[in-house]
Amino acid sequence: MKTLHQYLTLQVFASLLLTVAVFTFVLLLGTVLKEILLLLVNGQARLGTVLEAIGLLIPFVVVYALPMGLLTATLLVFGRFSADQELTAARASGVSLLSLVAPVLLLSLLCCGVSAWFNLDLGPRSRVAYKNLIARARADLMSVQLPAGQPIYDFPGYIFVVGENHGGNLKDVTIEDLKENATGFAPQGQYAVDPTNNVFTLTLFNVVSLKVTNKGNRYTSNGMLQITNALNPSTGQAGTPKISDMTFWQLQDTARNLERFDLPAAAGASSKELRAQIHEVEQLIGQTRAEMHRQVAFSFACFGFALVGIPLGIRMHRRETNVGIVIALALVLVYYSFGILAKSLAARPEFAPHLIFWLPNFIFLAVGAVLLWRANRGI
């Protein structure tokens, strides 16, 4: 039994290394051709920068390549194991399928741990580092933009949410003054960059603030609000990553900070623009929470894929590699289509997009458990 366990585990592990390498290369290829090599050809980056950019992209790509590789590896190994009658011989010796695949399932749980590390921390940080590297390669401070629809923390004491950004002309800006515990709204604003002094200046016009006190809501008009902040000289850009590029712990902090907006009080305000901005903040909170669930849910893909891949490989009863790869790609497409659907509904919390991220895990676990039970009984 120990020999069989070692044989199957080593076979799956070797196939896993090969398939992860192949999928990583394929997933990297599109980005490398579209962004990195273009910079090299245009003379905007050296070869060392290109290699560093590829290295930074690998952890982000492995988030998807590892589950795909494990699924393909189990399909190929157990397809050959069944086709070569090795499974029949093992059963004839009194070895059950469940006891035979236990080490492989344990390996898949180990892959879940690695996948969680990549999903929750290393992948997002590497993606942000890659974007910063590309920004440095282009070396253009004037390309700084405040991202629309994202919480911005680059100005101490304030949180901003920009509705629209048209080349530096801002519209519908919501301001959370953390010191005064007040929520403000500015219909217009603009930003400017001083490359010489490396300073970023944000100017807002016709600012209206709402402050909740013990005596009730108090509205004030500040006219113009101007704030300056030093840019990070290493990146030449504001440092707030997109929600999809945040680590799990950054997402937690973002959700807490967004919830500091006094939503119940502001929702009853008479300003339609302010109520619209509050609605936008609620959507951002929903997106942040959904992204947190996505990172955690996708970390368990390896176990579900292994649980489905083992009995499917046995049922295929084939040694051909191309058949296993085609089936693996089809299953991956089904799994990640739920993620695409949930991400499209991330701004609609009433549809519970965070639960949709978990749905493929439950489906694959249930189907895999049934298939494995039937395969163990020889059905």
Question: Hey, what are 6's tokens?
Answer: 């070692």
* Maximum Cα interatomic distance, the chain, rounded to a whole number of Å: 85
How does pLDDT run across 337-373, given as a tens digit for each residue? Answer: 998 998 888 777 778 888 899 999 999 999 999 999 9
Sequence-distant (6+) residues with CB within 8 A of 329 are 68
Instruction: Name all contacts of 286-289 with Cβ < 8 Å and 24+ positions apart.
Output: 286/346, 286/347, 286/348, 286/349, 286/353, 287/243, 287/346, 287/347, 288/243, 288/251, 288/254, 288/255, 288/258, 289/255, 289/349, 289/354
Judged on CB neighbours under 10 Å (0-12, 13-18, 19+), 290 is: buried
Report the Cα–Cα distance between both ends of the chain, in Å, rounded: 23
How does pLDDT run across 10-20, given as a tens digit for each residue? Answer: 999 999 999 99
Task: Indicate the Cα dihedral angle 192, 194, 198, 203, nearest 10°.
Answer: -30
Pairing mode, strands 216-230 and 182-194: unpaired
Average pLDDT over the chain reads 80
Q: Which residue from 367, 365, 338 is spatially nearest to 354, judged by alpha carbons?
A: 338
Per-residue pLDDT at 59 exceeds 70: yes
Per-residue pLDDT at 146 exceeds 70: no
The radius of gyration of the chain from alpha carbons, rounded to an integer in Å, stands at 26
Q: Percent of the chain beyond pLDDT 70?
A: 78
* Among 140-144, 271-275, 297-301, 336-340, the least confident range: 140-144
Per-residue pLDDT at 241 exceeds 60: yes
* DSSP SS3 for 151: strand
210 or 297: which leads in pLDDT = 297
Q: Which residue from 263, 95, 113, 64 is spatially nearest to 183, judged by alpha carbons?
A: 263
**What confidence score (pLDDT) does residue 175 get?**
84
How does pLDDT run across 88-135, given as a tens digit for each residue? Answer: 888 888 888 888 899 999 999 999 999 999 999 999 999 888 887 776
Per-residue pLDDT at 142 exceeds 50: no
The amino acid present at 326, given as its one-letter code, is: V
Question: Hey, what are 277's tokens?
Answer: 């901005």
State the average pLDDT over residues 201-205. Answer: 84
State the average pLDDT over residues 192-216. Answer: 72
Are 159 and 148 spatial neighbours (Cβ–Cβ below 8 Å)? Answer: no
Helix (H) or strand (E) holding 170: strand 169-177
State the average pLDDT over residues 53-65. Answer: 89
State the average pLDDT over residues 206-229. Answer: 72
Half-sphere exposure of 41 (CA within 13 A, CB side): 7
Per-residue pLDDT at 274 exceeds 70: no
- What CA–CA distance (Å, rounded) separates 199 from 188? 21
Are 275 and 267 spatial neighbours (Cβ–Cβ below 8 Å)? Answer: yes
Task: Indicate the Cα dihedral angle 200, 205, 211, 215, nearest 10°.
Answer: 150
Question: Hey, what are 136's tokens?
Answer: 């440095």
Per-residue pLDDT at 156 exceeds 90: no
Domain ranges of the chain: 2-140+293-376, 151-290
Per-residue pLDDT at 198 exceeds 70: no
Judged on CB neighbours under 10 Å (0-12, 13-18, 19+), 275 is: middle
DSSP output for 358-369: HHHHHHHHHHHH
44-48, 243-247, 280-284: which is most confident:
243-247
